[in-house]
Structure 1
Amino acid sequence: MGKVIIFNAIRFFVVVLLQVALFKNIGYYNLASVFPYIFFIFLLPIGLPNVVLFVTAFLTGLTVDAFYDSVGVHAAACVALALFRTFFHKITLEVEIKDSFNTPSLGEMGTKWFLPYVFFGTLIHHLTLFLVETFSFTNFLYTLASIILSSIFTVSVIFLMSLLVYKRKSRINSI
């Protein structure tokens, strides 16, 4: 358990540092931005209690808000992502897996499960982020384009990051 906490703390600092130092300055004409810091929330252990999950997601968003000079927008989006994550785990995972502390990674869960998990989670995060940020329907098409393009951009970067840290699931051959 202590090993999981230390590993996730290191992952938190690395992902937030990458977001603030590198990905904050990457965008496409102020239309598409990339937010791969949410990869940290996706990779939190499956059996994590909901209170810990929501507090961790809120603090992750608040940390990014501090560097982006936004007022709780990322925190709200991360909490929405944590809510999606609990719902997605509830409807797609078996009971034995829900109680484990496995990391829901590409190597552990497989592509069929991991890609919809990341895609829909990113879409929920970006939908909440951009709608709370604009808080208006005056430029709805521009906001919708930002949501879609940023989601595609973020999912691509998260998929590349998950391929970089890909570890094949260990399978035990039973006779």
Structure 2
Amino acid sequence: MTGSSMVRALFSLFLYFLVQVFVLKDIVLFGDAFCFLYVFALLLLPLEVKTMSIMLVGFFFGLSVDAFYDTTGMHAATTVLITFVRASWVKANTPRGGYEDNVLPTLMNLGPIWFVAYSLPLILLHHLAFFYIDMAGTASFSVLFTKVLSSTFFTFILGLIVQLLFYQRKRGI
């Protein structure tokens, strides 16, 4: 990872963090759908980032979100979980020719089918773990199921919109 791509990644993390804690924190659709857009900041980091490095970033990023949400480590735990699973999931979804160097795993760079297969299960895992911890296993399955699915789709759709508006395709030579 080059110096300029590192600066861009850190700037991106910072922007996602600001949007999450100052704009999206209080937005809930129909009392069930929460948007955790900050998850995209971790999913869109370059594929070359090592697992331990991204887990550390995920931990401190989640801990920072926890500070604003008063959730005592729930975001940190779930971001560490998805960053741990991310490396295996990227390998499982590797295209036949492999990945280009220094490419961001965005919708425009790797295509819609790959991106949905990559991001949607990780977002679902994040939300399932988060709401299960939040409810401490005490809520009914239907309440958990409703929150997880509605929040996953809300987060995913908003993440796609952000990518379509603000991300560009990496230009080849």
Runs of 4+ more than 4 Å apart: 94-99
What is the CA-CA distance between 1:106 and the residue it aligns to? Answer: 1.3
CA distance in 1, matches of 2:77, 2:96: 29
**1:107-118 paired onto structure 2 within 5 Å:** 107-118=108-119
Contact 1:65 1:73 (8 Å CA) reproduced: yes
**1:22-171 paired onto structure 2 within 5 Å:** 22-93=23-94, 97=98, 100-171=101-172
What is the CA-CA distance between 1:27 and the residue it aligns to? Answer: 0.3
Identity %: 30
The farther-off stretch of 96-105 and 111-120 is 96-105
**1:6-21 paired onto structure 2 within 5 Å:** 6-21=7-22
Q: SS state of the match for residue 101, structure 1?
A: coil
In angstroms, what is the RMSD of aligned CA positions? 1.8
Distance 1:41 1:135, change over 3 A: same
CA distance in 1, matches of 2:130, 2:169: 33
Extract unaligned runs of 5+ from structure 1: none
Instruction: Output the TM-score relative to the length of structure 1.
Output: 0.90
Query: Number of matched residues?
Result: 172
Extract unaligned runs of 5+ from structure 2: none
CA distance in 2, matches of 1:127, 1:133: 10
Q: SS state of the match for residue 25, structure 2?
A: helix
CA distance in 1, matches of 2:111, 2:97: 17
- Per-residue CA deviation, residues 3-50 of structure 1 (Å, 9 max, x unaligned), is 111111111111000001110111024311101001111111101111
